[in-house]
Amino acid sequence: MDTLTILFYGLIAHVMTDGGAQRAVFVNAPMHEARLIVAESSIIENRGFARDEQGAFVLEGEHVVIDGIPKGDAMFEASYLRNVPSLTRISDGTTLIPEIETASPSDAVSAYVDLGRGTFSAVETWGSQATFGRSRAMCVASTVAFRAPANGEVVFRTDSGKTLRIKSSTIVQLSNAPPLSASGNHFHMYMKLLRDATKIEEPVKAGSCGGGGRRRVTTHTPEIVCSNIQYP
Amino acid sequence: MDTLTILFVGLITHVLTDGGAQRAVLVNAPQHEARLIVDAADVIENRGFECDARGGFKLEGEHVMIDGIPAGDPTFEASYLRHVPGLLRISDGTRLIPEIETASPHEAVAAYVDLGAGTFSASDTYDHQTTFGNGRPECLARIVTFRAPAPRGEVAFVTASGKSLRVRGSATVTIGNDPPAGTRGTHFHMYAHILADATYVAEPVATGSSCGGGGRRRVSAHDVAANALSSDCSNTGCCP
Residue A213 has pLDDT above 50, yes or no: no
| Interchain contact B149–A (C-beta under 8 A) | no
Q: Mean pLDDT, to the nearest integer, of A180-194?
A: 79
Residue B35 has pLDDT above 90, yes or no: yes
For residues A222 and B14, the model is more confident at: B14
Cα angle for residues A187, A189, A194 (degrees, 5° grid) = 105
pLDDT value, residue A177: 87
Residue A223: pLDDT band (50, 70, 90) is low
pLDDT value, residue A172: 98
Cβ pair B240:A95 closer than 8 A: no
Instruction: Output the average pLDDT for chain B.
Output: 87
Show which of residues 80-139 on chain A sit within 8 Å of chain B, judged by CB atoms.
81-82, 84-86, 88-89, 94-95, 119, 133-136, 138
Residue B144 has pLDDT above 90, yes or no: yes
Cβ pair A214:B82 closer than 8 A: no
- Distances in Å between the Cα of A213 and the Cα atoms of A139, B64, B95, B156, B218 are 12, 21, 18, 26, 35
Cβ pair B240:A82 closer than 8 A: yes
pLDDT value, residue B239: 59
Residue A165 has pLDDT above 50, yes or no: yes
Q: Which of A10-24, A157-171, B79-93, B160-174 shows the lowest mean pLDDT across its residues?
A: B79-93
Option in A18, A78, A216 nearest B216 (CB): A18
For A93, the closest chain B residue by CA position comes to B135
Collapsing DSSP states into helix, strand and coil, what is residue B220? strand
B197: Cα within 13 Å, side-chain hemisphere: 9
Q: What's the total number of domains in chain A?
A: 1
pLDDT tens for B205-226 read 888 888 874 434 445 544 333 2
Percent of chain A at pLDDT above 90?
64
For A21, the closest chain B residue by CA position comes to B216
Residue A206: pLDDT band (50, 70, 90) is confident
Show which of residues 17-36 on chain A sit within 8 Å of chain B, judged by CB atoms.
18-20, 22
Q: CA A4 to CA A148: how far, in whole Å? A: 5
The strand pairing partners of B36, in sequence order, are B57, B175
Option in B16, B77, B95 nearest A81 (CB): B16
Contact B33, B177 (CB under 8 A): yes
pLDDT value, residue A94: 86
Cβ pair A73:B78 closer than 8 A: yes
pLDDT value, residue A184: 63
Q: Which of A63-77, A117-131, B98-112, B149-163 shows the lowest mean pLDDT across its residues?
A: A117-131
pLDDT value, residue B184: 64
Collapsing DSSP states into helix, strand and coil, what is residue A187? helix
Residue B6 has pLDDT above 90, yes or no: yes
Instruction: Output the average pLDDT for chain A.
Output: 89
Cβ pair A119:B75 closer than 8 A: yes
> A196 contacts in B (CB within 8 Å)?
134
Neighbours of A59 (CB within 10 A): 25
| Interchain contact A188–B (C-beta under 8 A) | no
A34: Cα within 13 Å, side-chain hemisphere: 22
- DSSP for B52-105? -TTSPEE-TTEEEEEETS--S--EEEHHHHHHS-BTTTSBS---B-THHHHT--
Residue A180: pLDDT band (50, 70, 90) is low
Cβ pair B20:A76 closer than 8 A: no
pLDDT value, residue B134: 73
For residues B186 and B63, the model is more confident at: B63
Percent of chain A at pLDDT above 70?
90
Residue A134: pLDDT band (50, 70, 90) is confident
For B138, the closest chain A residue by CA position comes to A18
pLDDT value, residue A74: 96
Q: Name the nearest CA neighbour of B50 among B39, B42, B62.
A: B62
pLDDT value, residue A175: 95
Q: CA B177 to CA B33: how far, in whole Å? A: 5
Residue B186: pLDDT band (50, 70, 90) is low
Residue B131 has pLDDT above 60, yes or no: yes
Q: Which domain holds residue A8?
A: 2-231
pTM for this structure? 0.88
Contact A178, A34 (CB under 8 A): no
CA–CA min distance B210, chain A (Å): 14
| Interchain contact B88–A (C-beta under 8 A) | yes
- Give the residue from A73, A115, A209 with the most B CB atoms within 10 Å of its CB, the best one to mutate: A73
Pairing of strands B2-10, B62-67: unpaired
- Phi then psi dihedrals of residue A186, to 5 deg: -125, 15
| Interchain contact B20–A (C-beta under 8 A) | yes
Option in B74, B77, B88 nearest A89 (CB): B88
> A212 contacts in B (CB within 8 Å)?
18
Cβ pair A88:B73 closer than 8 A: no
Q: Name the nearest CA neighbour of A82 among B114, B16, B194.
A: B16
CB burial of residue A211 (10 Å; 0-12, 13-18, 19+): exposed
Q: CA B87 to CA A199: how far, in whole Å? A: 20
Residue B137: pLDDT band (50, 70, 90) is confident
Residue B91 has pLDDT above 90, yes or no: no
For A76, the closest chain B residue by CA position comes to B76
- Distances in Å between the Cα of A70 and the Cα atoms of A42, A118, A152, A229, B66 are 20, 8, 13, 24, 33
Which distant-in-sequence residues (6+ apart) come within 8 Å of B225 by Cβ? Answer: none
Residue A58: pLDDT band (50, 70, 90) is very high
